[in-house]
Chain A
Amino acid sequence: MFRFLRLSVLFAVLFVSAGSHAADASQPLSTADDLGPQVDQPIEFPHDRHAGDAAQGGMQINCMYCHTYARRSMTAGIPPTQKCIGCHQSIESVRETPRIKKLFEYWEAKKPIPWKKVHDLPDFVRFHHERHIQRFYFQQGKPVQEVCGYCHGNVKTMTVARRTKSLSMGWCVSCHEKQHPVDAASTKTAQGPNDCWQCHK
């Protein structure tokens, strides 16, 4: 009797959760082409100007120059304002432009800039930046913009970054299933880890 009761409760729960899932599905987290929402940032940071190709007027700065934590930690973080100021205090030519003026306002008030998150993952997913950069940049010697671009898209052509990949599990796995060379010199290949607990700890 009790067993029967529990089972029916279980079904009810399943049903409800399926229902809510269906409701979610009608509002997809990403658009069909995996483009994330346009995010308004406190300062409209021009990635194209900093990292873009010289031919397009870019400075070709290495991603890791500013995003220095990505190769050292699980979290990429965001560069401290100090980093921006380090260069901009001696770039007189743009000192009076609106964006830079705003930057200095934050700096002088010693207030952190409230950057909005553009690439987010659910809390039950553990993504490790350092592992990926070690593998593709340092071991395989791929160009840094290509490596970051696997997940972040072609940021050097954007002003404010926008998500261009779905960052869904299936999308992650599609890459983890591929054979990648283990390092730049070898012909040996290996796949990304395939265990649940690698990402779901």
Chain B
Amino acid sequence: MMENGFNRRDFLKVLGWGGTAVALSGCGNTSVEDGRETVNSYVEAADYVIPGIGVYFNSTCAQCDAGCSIMGKVREGRVLKLEGNPDSAINRGKTCGLGQAGVQHHYNPDRVREPLQRKGEIGVTITWEKAYELIAEKLKDVSGEEIAFLSGGVSGHLKVLLDNYLASFGCRNHFVYEALAPAVVRAANKKSYGVEMPRYNINKAKVVLSFGADFLGAWVSPVHFSQQYAQFRKGVDGERGVLIQIEPKMTLTGANADRWIPVRPGTEGVLALGIINALGTAGGDIAALVKDYDKVRVSKETGVPPGHIDKIAALLKLRSPSLVLAGSAAEGYAHGSQNAAAINLLNHVLGNVGKTVEAAAEVPFPQMAPARGNTAALKALNDGLAAGKYKVLFNYAANPIFTAPGGMKFKDNWAKADFKVVFAHYMDETALQADLVLPLDSALEDWGTHVPEYMADGAQINIQQPLMERLHANTRGMGDILLALIKQRRPEDYKSYEDYYGYLRAAMLQNKAALGGGGMDDDTFWSETLSKGIVKLAGAATTAVHSKAGATDLTLPAATQDAQYPLQLIPAVNVSLRDGRHANLPWLQESPDPLTTIVWDSWVEIHPKKALEMDITEGDIIEVTSRTGSVKAQAYLFPGIHPDAISIPLGQGHEALGRYAKGYGVNPFQILDAVFDKETGELAMHETRVKISKTGQRVIVVKDESAAGAKQIRKKIAGRMSTDNVDLSKEV
């Protein structure tokens, strides 16, 4: 950990990694390079820097929005491995597999290394000065209203800088877009509890009833929840917690549940009201609301047997407190808000609010609070683009051309803006359509502060610092770029900050007292902050949760039938690939999907019953057609899915993004219809209906699990040839 308070960039430079003086000649496995290879040589080295021995520096994981704190093992100036920082209340020393793969974003061979300007079909390398000039020139004749900035979720000082930059030319069009954000649930939470993201105490619950919240896999803060889950399983007062997962497609969390209940897609809200009815403890408005949701009706609509509903109700009555979660599978419909509200209502009825649903601490600096991404923002931008409102468009930390649902025709509308600037790590689908591509530092080379959306115990600001000198001379940190851009507009105000590091340091020192550094001198405070990697804000305020249930005027439509498109498409969130931004990490591509064990590809999950009906076997290439488009992928027979639904994992099917992503699998975003939640305007991800047909081709599904393996563990999770029929001697 860092002990001295000097500038890390200098520090790394001093260590000998600045410039090109150190030639790291790559040698083959067996080459002995006497007299040819250069020794790693330092100019000055701190006492704790010893060649061959790793030093750990704290930083923050940038792989997802959970904001886990990490420490990177650095040896001979190179970051080798990431571990969790034990001091963070969010991840307590652990990381997930996705976090581990962060080093592969850093060392990825397909990173963009130079600023590129479009000349016809090719990108021509230009200098940064030229790039900045170009931006200034393009902004000169447009009004603030004609400029749009699309970004992923941002927080901390980067957000402050970005807001100030946009304000400097009167642009109010900052669209914060995350393809897979729990935006509907946030809005419903705001109504039900008064806060968008309360703190969920899984560890204090005796029963967790989760409607499609994959909290062990990809939902909100999976490392944090996994640790809570471990405590929950050990039990409160010796009573082992019971997990019931209700969802049409089994997630990793569903696979861990004591009871996994497939529900007809979209009827989660109905089931929630049915459970309230079965509990029979609610009075007043709520009783009136659920009056008609008796077992028989609910069972008919949801496909969940009446006996199950009774059992769930009985269990919830018996064990208190419990916790009910509304996850992405419940929110992805045109009536998603209603679903989420109905599910949240259960927490009120069960008296969980204030016990297992608590107020989260808040960072007392609203400017730094996370700008939470959602999909309504993409729609707003898309509509604006379609109407020709925007002339200059910036894009950062999002790949909308890949993730926008095909039904939106986003790519066509994108082209309507005259000048498109993309800040990029890779030439992804969006960067390919840019007029100017600006290459970014990797997360392990950059500075930053982050405020996680989901706060565990107490509020904290996470520090991101370079774990290594930049690999490529011409990439820049996003903060540095924004600072350079804002200097074009307000040179006087920002001239004293040489770079983003200087800005960050000055900003943190200015507020030293509020950040727990009262009484410390500047250098001590700063080096402590960097050394810890986390600023914990003691006594941060919390917004109290409502203990009164909110509105009870819910309208939950019954599931509809569609003869032409009989199946519901569930775009599944892969634990590793997420919205596709990590598909170019070979570690993640080769990590088997936790449920199907398939690697490096897409698949269509289909219930064996349905498959039998349609005479589909594993490996059949089937065509999935929606109103918007169609994709072809291999079939995988899987009992963990509702027979009326099929599922394709998200994240694959890239046409760009480098050698490890391009050309693998298919992209289900492409065939999603543009249907939106009626209340929040969020994209209804699960609302697309499809039909499937066989193409006649068949492939061997590449996966870890084999017929023999399934027999060995005495668990066949999908129907296949019995091992008794396989002559192993012939297989070798």
Contact between chains at B43 and A82 (CB < 8 Å): yes
Please indicate the chain A residues that have their CB under 8 angstroms from the CB of B27 in the complex.
Answer: 123
Contact between chains at B35 and A36 (CB < 8 Å): yes
Contact between chains at B32 and A122 (CB < 8 Å): yes
One of B31, B44, B52 near A80 (C-beta < 8 A): B44
One of A39, A74, A112 near B52 (C-beta < 8 A): A74
Please indicate the chain A residues that have their CB under 8 angstroms from the CB of B50 in the complex.
Answer: 69, 72-73, 77
B470 to chain A, nearest CB (A): 17
- Main SS class of interface, A: loop
Contact between chains at B29 and A82 (CB < 8 Å): no
Interface 1/0s, chain A 105-121, versus B by CB < 8 A? Answer: 01100111111111111
Given contacts A107-B43, A115-B41, A117-B38, contact A69 B29 (CB under 8 A): no
Q: Of all chain A residues, which has the CB nearest B732?
A: A3
Please indicate the chain A residues that have their CB under 8 angstroms from the CB of B13 in the complex.
Answer: 110
Contact between chains at B42 and A80 (CB < 8 Å): yes
Indicate whether B122 reaches chain A with its CB closer than 8 angstroms: no
One of B22, B30, B33, B36 near A112 (C-beta < 8 A): B22
Q: Of all chain A residues, which has the CB nearest B42?
A: A80
Tell me how many residues of A have a C-beta within 8 Å of chain B.
Answer: 35
One of A37, A40, A124 near B29 (C-beta < 8 A): A124
Indicate whether A78 reaches chain B with its CB closer than 8 angstroms: yes
**Given the complex of chains A and B, what is the CA–CA distance between A106 and B31 in angstroms?**
29
One of A29, A77, A122 near B51 (C-beta < 8 A): A77
Contact between chains at B32 and A120 (CB < 8 Å): yes
Please indicate the chain A residues that have their CB under 8 angstroms from the CB of B38 in the complex.
Answer: 114-117
Docked complex: B9-34 residues within 8 A CB-CB of A: 13-14, 16, 18-19, 21-23, 27, 29-34
Indicate whether B40 reaches chain A with its CB closer than 8 angstroms: yes
Docked complex: B44-101 residues within 8 A CB-CB of A: 44-45, 50-53, 76
A66 to chain B, nearest CB (A): 13
Contact between chains at A75 and B52 (CB < 8 Å): yes
Please indicate the chain A residues that have their CB under 8 angstroms from the CB of B40 in the complex.
Answer: 77-78
Indicate whether B37 reaches chain A with its CB closer than 8 angstroms: yes
A14 to chain B, nearest CB (A): 17
Indicate whether B563 reaches chain A with its CB closer than 8 angstroms: no
Indicate whether A157 reaches chain B with its CB closer than 8 angstroms: no
One of A72, A77, A110 near B14 (C-beta < 8 A): A110
**Given the complex of chains A and B, what is the CA–CA distance between A163 and B36 in angstroms?**
13
One of A38, A72, A113, A124 near B53 (C-beta < 8 A): A72
Q: Of all chain B residues, which has the CB nearest A73?
A: B52
Contact between chains at B37 and A120 (CB < 8 Å): yes
Please indicate the chain B residues that have their CB under 8 angstroms from the CB of A113 in the complex.
Answer: 41
Given contacts A77-B50, A77-B51, contact A112 B41 (CB under 8 A): yes
Please indicate the chain A residues that have their CB under 8 angstroms from the CB of B29 in the complex.
Answer: 122-124
Docked complex: A60-97 residues within 8 A CB-CB of B: 69, 72-78, 80-82
Indicate whether B387 reaches chain A with its CB closer than 8 angstroms: no
**Given the complex of chains A and B, what is the CA–CA distance between A138 and B37 in angstroms?**
31
Indicate whether B39 reaches chain A with its CB closer than 8 angstroms: yes
Contact between chains at B41 and A73 (CB < 8 Å): no
Given contacts A111-B19, A112-B21, contact A77 B37 (CB under 8 A): no
Please indicate the chain B residues that have their CB under 8 angstroms from the CB of A115 in the complex.
Answer: 38-39, 41
Given contacts A80-B43, A81-B43, contact A111 B21 (CB under 8 A): yes
Greatest chain B CB density within 10 A among A37, A76, A80, A107 is at A80
A47 to chain B, nearest CB (A): 15
Please indicate the chain A residues that have their CB under 8 angstroms from the CB of B34 in the complex.
Answer: 29, 36-37, 39, 117-120, 163
Docked complex: B610-633 residues within 8 A CB-CB of A: none
**Given the complex of chains A and B, what is the CA–CA distance between A39 and B14 in angstroms?**
26
One of B14, B23, B33 near A114 (C-beta < 8 A): B23
Please indicate the chain A residues that have their CB under 8 angstroms from the CB of B51 in the complex.
Answer: 69, 73, 75-77
Please indicate the chain B residues that have their CB under 8 angstroms from the CB of A118 in the complex.
Answer: 34-35
Q: Of all chain B residues, which has the CB nearest A112?
A: B16
Given contacts A75-B52, A82-B45, contact A29 B22 (CB under 8 A): no
Given contacts A80-B45, A111-B19, contact A116 B30 (CB under 8 A): no
Please indicate the chain B residues that have their CB under 8 angstroms from the CB of A114 in the complex.
Answer: 21-23, 38, 41
Contact between chains at A117 and B39 (CB < 8 Å): yes
Please indicate the chain A residues that have their CB under 8 angstroms from the CB of B30 in the complex.
Answer: 122-124
Contact between chains at B31 and A122 (CB < 8 Å): yes
Docked complex: A137-186 residues within 8 A CB-CB of B: 163
A153 to chain B, nearest CB (A): 13
Q: Of all chain A residues, which has the CB nearest B28?
A: A123
**Given the complex of chains A and B, what is the CA–CA distance between A74 and B50 in angstroms?**
10
Please indicate the chain B residues that have their CB under 8 angstroms from the CB of A74 in the complex.
Answer: 52-53
Please indicate the chain A residues that have their CB under 8 angstroms from the CB of B39 in the complex.
Answer: 77-78, 115-117
Please indicate the chain A residues that have their CB under 8 angstroms from the CB of B32 in the complex.
Answer: 29, 120-122
Contact between chains at A80 and B41 (CB < 8 Å): yes
Contact between chains at A37 and B35 (CB < 8 Å): yes
One of A36, A73, A81, A116 near B44 (C-beta < 8 A): A81
Contact between chains at A110 and B43 (CB < 8 Å): yes
**Given the complex of chains A and B, what is the CA–CA distance between A111 and B41 in angstroms?**
9
Extra contacts besides A80-B41, A111-B19, A120-B37 (15): CB < 8 Å: A36-B34, A73-B53, A77-B39, A77-B50, A107-B43, A111-B43, A112-B43, A114-B21, A114-B22, A114-B23, A117-B39, A122-B30, A122-B32, A124-B30, A163-B34
Q: Could you list some 19 contacts between A and B, CB below 8 A?
A: A39-B34, A69-B50, A69-B51, A73-B51, A74-B53, A75-B51, A78-B41, A78-B42, A80-B43, A82-B44, A107-B43, A112-B21, A112-B22, A114-B21, A114-B22, A114-B38, A118-B35, A120-B32, A163-B34
Binding site for A on B (CB under 8 A): 13-14, 16, 18-19, 21-23, 27, 29-45, 50-53, 76
**8 closest residue pairs by CB, A with B:** A75-B52, A77-B51, A39-B35, A73-B52, A112-B16, A80-B42, A112-B41, A75-B51
